[in-house]
């Protein structure tokens, strides 16, 4: 108990850093770019990733611009549409389509104009290390502020669901994983030909991919830091304020995403040229036979 109290006292001041979040989400311009700086970075990142996938055509013509935009909308609006249908409400993107429209325009400008030359041709270690920070912050906000908290405090958003362990864990997961998985590898919406295949996350060991388990991990960590709460009776005993808990989750997620970037893109030592004892023995037997 003393350890958790000391930990809570140590991380509580981190909540002050949450004060930067409203600035990151405030519109860059009320008319010309009515989304926040973090959203701009996120959409640029999504457009860049889609461009990498769509460019790998294996000699076939690239998917049409409309097909790529549709795939991006599936990633962005799929979860909202699914949960809106399940709860009998109007999906937010239908009431205010600003975000998907801006995403479409940004992708078309990035990939169908000479500006495509400014996009990185492929992911690199330096690029992924830089992108890991906004990626992690955006993922944490999606799994906490925009999904978990509205369930804990009904009436604060369109997401009006009862707070239970299943809704608190599965709603962030639904927002973060299945529709992106379908767009990229399940439906191949960015490939020259759309075809249904098994999503990468459902293939052998696919669950080990960071994007597959990080929403459940973030949400559980967040709830354990602020819990117990109505609908969630567990907790570390830290009773952190939500702002501080979000900052802690962001720090942890940044470390995980940075580690993923290093694991995927850092140069690996070349394998030794030394031959195994077995191969040497085979060569000796061949020499004797000759």
Q: What is the DSSP string of 44-59?
A: HHHHHHHHHHHH--TT
What mean pLDDT comes out for the span 275-282? 57
Determine the Cα–Cα distance for residues 18 and 245; give it in Å rounded to an integer.
Answer: 10
Q: Does the structure show a pLDDT above 70 at 283? A: no
Choice between 13 and 285, residue whose per-residue pLDDT is larger:
13
Q: Does the structure show a pLDDT above 60 at 274? A: no
Global pTM exceeds 0.75: yes
- Find the angle CA(209)-CA(215)-CA(219) to the nearest 5 degrees: 145
Considering its fold, how many domains does the chain have in total? 1
Length of the chain: 290
Q: Does the structure show a pLDDT above 70 at 281? A: no
Under 8 Å between Cβ of 84 and 90: yes
Determine the Cα–Cα distance for residues 227 and 221; give it in Å rounded to an integer.
Answer: 10
Mean confidence (pLDDT) of the chain: 91
How distant, in Å, are the alpha carbons of 4, 7, 13, 233, 253 from that of 1?
5, 10, 20, 17, 26
For residue 232, what are the domain limits? Answer: 2-289
- Rounded to the nearest 5°, which phi and psi values hold at 257? -70, -35
If DSSP codes are grouped into helix, strand and coil, which group holds residue 103? Answer: helix
Q: Does the structure show a pLDDT above 70 at 279? A: no
Position 204 confidence tier, pLDDT thresholds 50, 70, 90: very high
């Amino acid at each position: 108990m003393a350890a958790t109290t000391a930990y809570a006292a140590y991380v509580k001041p981190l909540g002050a850093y949450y004060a930067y979040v409203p600035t990151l989400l405030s519109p860059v311009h009320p008319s010309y770019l009515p989304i926040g700086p973090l959203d701009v970075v996120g959409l640029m990142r999504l457009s860049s990733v889609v461009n990498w996938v769509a460019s790998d055509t294996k000699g076939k013509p690239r998917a049409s611009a409309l097909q790529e935009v549709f795939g991006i909308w599936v990633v962005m609006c799929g979860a909202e549409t699914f949960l809106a249908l399940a709860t009998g409400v109007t999906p937010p993107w239908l009431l205010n389509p600003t975000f998907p429209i801006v995403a479409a325009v940004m992708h078309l400008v990035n990939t169908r104009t000479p500006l495509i030359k400014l996009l990185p041709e492929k992911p690199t270690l330096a690029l992924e290390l830089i992108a890991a920070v906004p990626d992690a912050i955006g993922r944490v906000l999606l799994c906490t502020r925009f999904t978990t908290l509205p369930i804990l405090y009904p009436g604060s958003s369109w997401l009006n669901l009862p707070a239970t362990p299943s809704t608190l864990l599965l709603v962030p997961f639904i927002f973060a994983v299945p529709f992106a998985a379908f767009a990229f590898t399940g439906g191949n919406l960015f490939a020259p030909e759309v075809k249904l295949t098994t999503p990468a996350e459902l293939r052998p060991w696919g669950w080990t991919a960071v994007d597959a388990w990080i929403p459940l991990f973030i949400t559980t960590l967040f709830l354990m830091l602020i819990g117990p709460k109505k609908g969630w009776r567990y907790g570390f005993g830290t009773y952190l304020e939500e702002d501080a808990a979000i900052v802690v989750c962001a720090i942890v997620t940044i470390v995980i995403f940075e580690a993923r970037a290093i694991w995927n893109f850092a140069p690996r030592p070349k394998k030794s040229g030394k031959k195994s004892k077995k191969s040497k023995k085979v060569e000796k037997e061949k020499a004797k036979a000759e």
